C-alpha cells in the first residue's frame, strides 16, 4: 500500500512538462524492449521508435528501395513497419529456397488490417488454410471448364481483339491513350468466363470501374496503406486515401452483386453458363456441410479478385509492350518479319504458331521480365518457425519475396536493366526460358491464371504486331517512367498505331 501511495505521490509532484517528458521516455523505452529484433532474426536498418522503418523506404518506389537495402543487409533482411516485422527476400536463389523448396512453410497470407477490412479472410488471393485450398481448387476446375488454358478460348480472345482493333483503327494513326481500351479488352476475357458476357468500350459504368482499379492498386502500396496496417485503430478514424480504397471496393462489390442478382433471376442448375452459375450451384450442393466455405460473401470476394487479377496484369504488360516497341523499332520490325513469315497478314494467329516464332516469344517474355508487373509479389506468411539464409524466422511473420530482385538479378541475367530479347534465345536462335523467369511467382501460391495470361499475351501481342506499327507522336520520345503500386504501370502516355500495308 505504501508503494502505491509513493508512486501516486511521485506523479502528483511532477509538473506538466516533467510528466510529459516522463511519459515520452517511458513509451520509447517500452517500445525499444518490446520491439527489438528476436535472436538470430534477419538484420536490417536502424529502427526508429514507434514507426520502425516506415519512413526508411521510399513508398513511391518501394521495390527499388528494398533492392538497394539488400546491398547493405544481404538477401534476407528485415524491416519493422510500426509494431510489425517483415522479412524481405532478394535474389532468385533465396526466393526459390523459400517458395519452392520450403513451400509449405511460406504458404499462408498475412492478416493485414487493410485487406481484412475489405476482404475479411475470404477469397483466393488473401486467404489461407482450408478456405484457400477449397476456393482455389474450385476456381481452377470451373474456369478450365470455360476454357482456361484451352484452345477453345482462342476464338474468344481473337474476337475481342477484333473489337479492340476497331476502336484503335478509329484513331486513324493519331495519338491516343491505350490505357482504358486495352484494360477493357483484356478484362472482357475474364468477364466472359465469370459473368458470361463482355462489356462494350463505350460503357461508362465499366470504364469508371476500370479507372478505380488503377487508383486502388496505387493506394494498396502507398504510405497510407502501410500506416493503416501498422496503426489500424488510429487510421480507421482519420481521413485520407486509405478511406477512399474502402469506398472503391464497396463500389466494385456493388457492381458484382448486381451481376449476381441478374444471374439468380435466370439461374438454371441444369445449364451452368459461367463461374457465377457454378458457384451458386456449389453453394446449393454444399449447404449443410460443416467444412464448406461456399457462400455468397465468399463468392463476391472471389469474383472481385478474379476480376482484378484477370484484368490488370496482362493489360499492363501489353501497355509496356507498346512502349518498348516504339522505343526499339528495330525489334518491332523483327517481330513483324517473323509474323509475316510464319502467319502472314491475312490469317489470325494461333497458339500453335508460338513454337515457330521464337523471337516473338522472346520479346513477349522480355517485356514481362523488364516490365516487372508485380514488383513485390503478394506477401506471404510463415506457417511455422523456419530457417532461411542462416536466420530464424518465427511463425506468422510477413515475408516479401521480391520479384524485382529476381527478374533483375545480375547473377541470372546477362543485361538485367536493358531490354534484351536475347535473354530468352540460345545460340541457335531457339526460345529458352531461364529458371529465374518467375513473373507469376512460384510454389504453392503461383498465380492460378498463368495459363490464361500466357495465351492472352501471345494472341493479343501477335495480333497487334500483325496489324499495326506502334510509334510515338511526332517530336515525342518514349519515356519509360512508371507508377509504383500493387502493379508497376507505365506512366500515362499517348501512342500512334499505324495500319501496316497489306
Q: What is the CATH number of the domain that holds 373?
A: 1.10.630.10
Angle between helices 241-265 and 223-230 (to 10 degrees): 90
H or E stretch at 391: strand 391-393
CA distance linking residue 468 with residue 497, whole number of Å: 6
Q: What is the pTM of this model?
A: 0.92
CA distance linking residue 199 with residue 143, whole number of Å: 19
Three-state SS for 123? coil
| Other residues' Cβ atoms within 10 Å of the Cβ of residue 197 | 12
| Average confidence (pLDDT) over 49-76 | 94
Asked if residue 436 lies in contact with residue 406, where contact means CB atoms within 8 angstroms, the answer is yes
Asked if residue 473 lies in contact with residue 494, where contact means CB atoms within 8 angstroms, the answer is yes
Q: What contacts 23, CB < 8 A, 6 or more positions away? A: none
Q: Say what the pLDDT of residue 146 is.
A: 86
Listing DSSP states for 435-447 in one string gives TT--TT--GGGS-
Angle between helices 179-194 and 275-286 (to 10 degrees): 40
The answer to the question of residue 14 being in a domain is: no
The structural domain count of the chain equals 1
Compute the Cα dihedral for 205, 211, 213, 219 and give only its sign.
negative
The overall longest dimension of the chain from CA atoms, in Å, is 98
The closest alpha carbon to 407, from 392, 393, 418, 394, belongs to 418
Proportion of the chain above pLDDT 70, given as a percent = 93
| Average confidence (pLDDT) over 280-290 | 91
Instruction: Write out pLDDT tens, residues 437-491.
Output: 999 999 999 998 899 999 999 999 999 999 999 999 999 999 999 999 989 999 9
CA distance linking residue 332 with residue 228, whole number of Å: 44
Q: Say what the pLDDT of residue 500 is.
A: 93
Which cell numbers hold the place of 456?
A: 492472352
Three-state SS for 76? strand
Q: Say what the pLDDT of residue 90 is.
A: 97
The closest alpha carbon to 463, from 322, 279, 316, belongs to 322
Which cell numbers hold the place of 227?
A: 500506416
Cα separations (Å) of 416 from 410, 413, 427, 444, 486?
Answer: 6, 5, 19, 27, 22
The answer to the question of residue 350 being in a domain is: yes
Give residue for cell 511460406.
Answer: 106
Cα separations (Å) of 170 from 166, 173, 174, 201, 325?
Answer: 6, 8, 9, 13, 21
Q: Domain residues for 275?
A: 35-499
Query: What proportions of the chain, in percent to the nearest 5, are helix, strand and coil?
Result: 55, 10, 35
Weakest mean pLDDT among 78-92, 106-120, 357-371 = 106-120
Which cell numbers hold the place of 133?
A: 485450398
The answer to the question of residue 241 being in a domain is: yes
The answer to the question of residue 168 being in a domain is: yes
Instruction: Write out pLDDT tens, residues 291-345.
Output: 899 999 999 999 999 988 889 999 999 999 999 999 999 999 999 999 999 999 8
pLDDT at 11 over 60: no
CA distance linking residue 435 with residue 107, whole number of Å: 21
The answer to the question of residue 11 being in a domain is: no
Q: Say what the pLDDT of residue 139 is.
A: 94
The answer to the question of residue 8 being in a domain is: no
Instruction: Write out pLDDT tens, residues 203-243.
Output: 999 999 998 888 888 888 899 999 999 999 999 999 988 89
Count how many residues are written for the chain: 502
In Å, how far from its chain's centre is CA 100?
A: 19
The answer to the question of residue 13 being in a domain is: no
The answer to the question of residue 22 being in a domain is: no
Which cell numbers hold the place of 167?
A: 476502336
CA distance linking residue 187 with residue 277, whole number of Å: 19
Q: Say what the pLDDT of residue 387 is.
A: 97
Amino acid at each position: 500500500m505504501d508503494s502505491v501511495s509513493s508512486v501516486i505521490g511521485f506523479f502528483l509532484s511532477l509538473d506538466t512538462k516533467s510528466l510529459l517528458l516522463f511519459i515520452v521516455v517511458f513509451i520509447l523505452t517500452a517500445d525499444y524492449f518490446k520491439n527489438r529484433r528476436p535472436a538470430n532474426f534477419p538484420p536490417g536498418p536502424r529502427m526508429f521508435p514507434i514507426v520502425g522503418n516506415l519512413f526508411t523506404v521510399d513508398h513511391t518506389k518501394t521495390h527499388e528501395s528494398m533492392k538497394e537495402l539488400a546491398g547493405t543487409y544481404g538477401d534476407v533482411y528485415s524491416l519493422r513497419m510500426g509494431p510489425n516485422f517483415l522479412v524481405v527476400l532478394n535474389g532468385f536463389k533465396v526466393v526459390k529456397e523459400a517458395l519452392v523448396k520450403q513451400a509449405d512453410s511460406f504458404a499462408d497470407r498475412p492478416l493485414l488490417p487493410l485487406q481484412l477490412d475489405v476482404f475479411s479472410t475470404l477469397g483466393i488471393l488473401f486467404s489461407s488454410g482450408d478456405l484457400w485450398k477449397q476456393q482455389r481448387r474450385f476456381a481452377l476446375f470451373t474456369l478450365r471448364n470455360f476454357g482456361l488454358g484451352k484452345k477453345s478460348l482462342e476464338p474468344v480472345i481473337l474476337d475481342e481483339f477484333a473489337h479492340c482493333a476497331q476502336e484503335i483503327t478509329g484513331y486513324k494513326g493519331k495519338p491516343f491513350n491505350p490505357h482504358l481500351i486495352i484494360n477493357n479488352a483484356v478484362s472482357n476475357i475474364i468477364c466472359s468466363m465469370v459473368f458470361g458476357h463482355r462489356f462494350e468500350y463505350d460503357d461508362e459504368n465499366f470504364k469508371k470501374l476500370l479507372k478505380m482499379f488503377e487508383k486502388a492498386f496505387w493506394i494498396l502500396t502507398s504510405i497510407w496503406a502501410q500506416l493503416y496496417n501498422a496503426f489500424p485503430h488510429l487510421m480507421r478514424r482519420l481521413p485520407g486515401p486509405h478511406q477512399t480504397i474502402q469506398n472503391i471496393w464497396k463500389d466494385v462489390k456493388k457492381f458484382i452483386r448486381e451481376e449476381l442478382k441478374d444471374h439468380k433471376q435466370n439461374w438454371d442448375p441444369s445449364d451452368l453458363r459461367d463461374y457465377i452459375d457454378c458457384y451458386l450451384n456449389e453453394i446449393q450442393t454444399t449447404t449443410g456441410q460443416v467444412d464448406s466455405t461456399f457462400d455468397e460473401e465468399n463468392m463476391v470476394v472471389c469474383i472481385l479478385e478474379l476480376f482484378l487479377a484477370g484484368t490488370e496484369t496482362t493489360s499492363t504488360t501489353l501497355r509496356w509492350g507498346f512502349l518498348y516497341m516504339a522505343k526499339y523499332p528495330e525489334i518491332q520490325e523483327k517481330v513483324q518479319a517473323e509474323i509475316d513469315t510464319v502467319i502472314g497478314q491475312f490469317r489470325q494467329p494461333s497458339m500453335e504458331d508460338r513454337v515457330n516464332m521464337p523471337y516473338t516469344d522472346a520479346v513477349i517474355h522480355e517485356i514481362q521480365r523488364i516490365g516487372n508487373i508485380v514488383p513485390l509479389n503478394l506477401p506471404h506468411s510463415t506457417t511455422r518457425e523456419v530457417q532461411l539464409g542462416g536466420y530464424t524466422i518465427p511463425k506468422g511473420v510477413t515475408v516479401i519475396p521480391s520479384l524485382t530482385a529476381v527478374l533483375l538479378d545480375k547473377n541470372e541475367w546477362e543485361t538485367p536493366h536493358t531490354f534484351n530479347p536475347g535473354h530468352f534465345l540460345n545460340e541457335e536462335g531457339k526460345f529458352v526460358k531461364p529458371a529465374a523467369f518467375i513473373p507469376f511467382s512460384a510454389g504453392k501460391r503461383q498465380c492460378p491464371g498463368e495459363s490464361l495470361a500466357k495465351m492472352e499475351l501471345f494472341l493479343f501481342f501477335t495480333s497487334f504486331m500483325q496489324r499495326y506499327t506502334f510509334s510515338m507522336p511526332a517530336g515525342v520520345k518514349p519515356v519509360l517512367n512508371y507508377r509504383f503500386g500493387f502493379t508497376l504501370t507505365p506512366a500515362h502516355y499517348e501512342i500512334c498505331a499505324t495500319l501496316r500495308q497489306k
